[in-house]
Amino acid sequence: MTVAIHPFDALMDITARPPVVFARGEGAWLWDDAGKRYLDFVQGWAVNCLGHSPPAIADALAAQAKLLLTPSPAFYNGPSVKLAKALVDQSCFRQVFFTNSGAEANEGAIKLARKYGALHRNGAYEIITFEGGFHGRTLATMSACGKKAFEPLFEPKVPGFPKAKLNDIDSVKRLIGDKTIGVMLEPIQGEAGVWPATDEFLQALRALTTEQGLLLIVDEIQTGIGRTGKLFHYEHAGITPDIMTLGKGIGGGVPLAALLATEAASCFAHGDQGGTFNGNPLMCAAGLAVLQQVAQPDFLKAVTGNGLFLESELQRLSARHGLGSVRGKGLLLALDLKRPIGAAIVAEGLQDGVLLNAPQPDTLRFMPALNVTRDEIMQMITMLDTILRKLGVARCVG
C-alpha cells in the first residue's frame, strides 16, 4: 500500500532545509523551480569552484560519458592516470588515491598513517587533531573532528585522536607520546568559522613532526584547489606536508576527492585500500577540466585579487554596521557579526535572493565561485547591506 507523504518527506530529515527546490544553475546564480533567481555565495559549500554547471565541466562529462563510465578500479583508465599525474606534477606529493568524498579521503589518510605506524613505529596509531577541526562524518573522521556537537554522538568513537589547540605548538608537544604517528589539521578551520592556522604555526608543526619522525597531514578539502589564491594552501607557509587530502573544489561540483602522499608516506600494499567507484573516469574527467583552469597562474592571481576586494568590501560593510573583523584568505572569508544573527541573515537572504552561510551563530562564511566577478561581489554586498538594515543592525553611519 502506498502511503500519501509529501515528496520532501521521502528524504531522511538530516538537516533543516528551506522549502525551496533548486532547478538550474549558471555561474554565480541559481534558479528555483518557480523561476526565482539567487546570487550564490555558498556554491555547494565551496564546491563549485568554476560556478554552477560551467561549460568546461559539462562538456568534459558529456564527452567522457559517451566513452567510458567505469571499467573497474582494478584497471587503469585515462582520466584518472592523467589527473593523478597532473596533481603530482603540481604538488610536493608522489602518489594519489581518488575517493568519492572528502570524508573518505580523510578516512584513507588515517588508514595510511596507521599503516605507516605499523611499518615504521611499532604500531603507533594516534593522530593529534585540533579542537574545532572538521574532517567529515564517517565514524573515524567524526572521531578526528574537534566539533563539540559531535562529542556525545555515536559512542564509542574510534580511539586515537587526542585534541590540541590551533596555533599553540606547546599543546601539540604535550600530546606526543609512544603511540603518536602524526598530526592532522585544516590549514583554515572552515566549519568552525574560518579560523586560520598561522604560517608560523604550520612551519613549527612541520619542524616538530620532522624532528619527531611523525607525519604531517593537511586536510585541504576546503582550502585546496585555488580557494586561498595558491593551488594548495600549504604553499603559503612554504612547507611540504607528508599527506594531503582534497575534496570539494577538485570535482567542481561532482563527487571527487583525493588522498595524496609523498613517496615515503605512500605505503599502502595491495588489499589495504580500494572502492568500487574510486578514480572512475567520469569524475576524473571533471577533475581534469577543473585543474586545467584553476592551476593557471592568471586564474590564481584573480582569486587573490578578488579575495582582497571582497575582504575590503566586507570591512567597509562591517564598519558601517558596527560589526567585527574579517578573517580568512583568498575566497574563503568570514565576517564576525559580534551577535548571534547569522541564521536570521541567512533566512532573509533566501527571501531576498542571495544565498549566504552561517557556520556559527555569530559568523557569516563567504565561499563564492573562484571565478566570481567584482560586479557579483558588489551585488552581494549591497544585498547584505539591505538585510542588515532590515534587521536593524545598522548604526546608520554610512
User: Which is the catalytic residue, given 98, 134, 268, 366?
Assistant: 134
Site string for ligand PLP, 229-248 (x = CB under 6 A): ------------------x-
Q: In terms of Cα–Cα distance, which of 232, 228, 252, 251 is closest to 241?
A: 232
Q: Grid cell 573497474 — which residue?
A: 72
For the bound state, the minimum distance from the C-beta of residue 245 to ligand PLP, rounded and expressed in Å, comes to 7
Site string for ligand PLP, 250-269 (x = CB under 6 A): -------x------------
- Is 219 marked active-site? yes
- H/E stretch holding 166 reads none
For the bound state, the minimum distance from the C-beta of residue 40 to ligand PLP, rounded and expressed in Å, comes to 17
C-alpha grid cell for residue 130? 585540533
Using CB atoms within 10 Å of the CB of residue 364, give its burial: 0 to 12 exposed, 13 to 18 middle, 19+ buried: buried
Site string for ligand PLP, 128-167 (x = CB under 6 A): ------xxx-------------------------------
d(CA 39, CA 45): 14
Of residues 52 and 135, the one with the C-beta less far from ligand PLP: 135
Distances (CA, A) of 27 to 15, 40, 111, 300, 377: 26, 9, 37, 18, 13
Query: Which amino acid, 17?
Result: R
What is the number of the residue whose Cβ is closest to ligand PLP?
Answer: 102
DSSP state of 69: S
Q: Which part of the chain contacts ligand PLP (CB under 6 A), choosing from 99-107, 204-212, 282-290, 367-375?
A: 99-107
For the bound state, the minimum distance from the C-beta of residue 263 to ligand PLP, rounded and expressed in Å, comes to 24
d(CA 354, CA 270): 48
- Residue 336, classed as helix, strand or coil, is strand
Residue 103 contacts ligand PLP per CB under 6 A: yes
Q: Which part of the chain contacts ligand PLP (CB under 6 A), choosing from 169-177, 183-191, 277-285, 330-338?
A: 183-191
User: Which is the catalytic residue, given 219, 230, 232, 329?
Assistant: 219
- H/E stretch holding 95 reads strand 95-99
Peptide bond connecting 156 to the previous residue in cis, omega within 30 degrees of 0? yes
Peptide bond connecting 159 to the previous residue in cis, omega within 30 degrees of 0? no
* Candidate residues 126, 186, 311, 376; the one interacting with ligand PLP per rule CB under 6 A: 186
Residue 102 contacts ligand PLP per CB under 6 A: yes
Task: Please give the distance of CA 365 from its chain centroid, rounded to a whole number.
Answer: 12
* Candidate residues 219, 313, 376, 385; the one interacting with ligand PLP per rule CB under 6 A: 219
* Candidate residues 108, 117, 132, 190; the one interacting with ligand PLP per rule CB under 6 A: 190
How many chain residues interact with ligand PLP (CB under 6 A)? 16
Of residues 50 and 140, the one with the C-beta less far from ligand PLP: 140
Q: Which part of the chain contacts ligand PLP (CB under 6 A), choosing from 4-12, 184-192, 269-277, 343-351?
A: 184-192
Of residues 87 and 257, the one with the C-beta less far from ligand PLP: 257
Cα angle value 309/314/317 (rounded, 5°): 130
Query: Which amino acid, 381?
Result: I
* Candidate residues 61, 214, 221, 388; the one interacting with ligand PLP per rule CB under 6 A: 221
Residue 287 contacts ligand PLP per CB under 6 A: no
Residue 359 contacts ligand PLP per CB under 6 A: no
- Is 277 marked active-site? no
Kindly give the residue spans of alpha helices, DSSP state H, lying in the chain. 43-46, 55-67, 78-89, 102-120, 139-144, 169-173, 199-212, 234-237, 281-294, 297-321, 342-352, 374-390
Q: Are strands 243-246 and 257-261 parallel, antiparallel or unpaired?
A: antiparallel
For the bound state, the minimum distance from the C-beta of residue 146 to ligand PLP, rounded and expressed in Å, comes to 12
Residues acting as catalytic residues: 134, 219, 248
Residues that bind ligand PLP (CB under 6 A): 45, 101-103, 106, 134-136, 186, 190-191, 219, 221-222, 247, 257
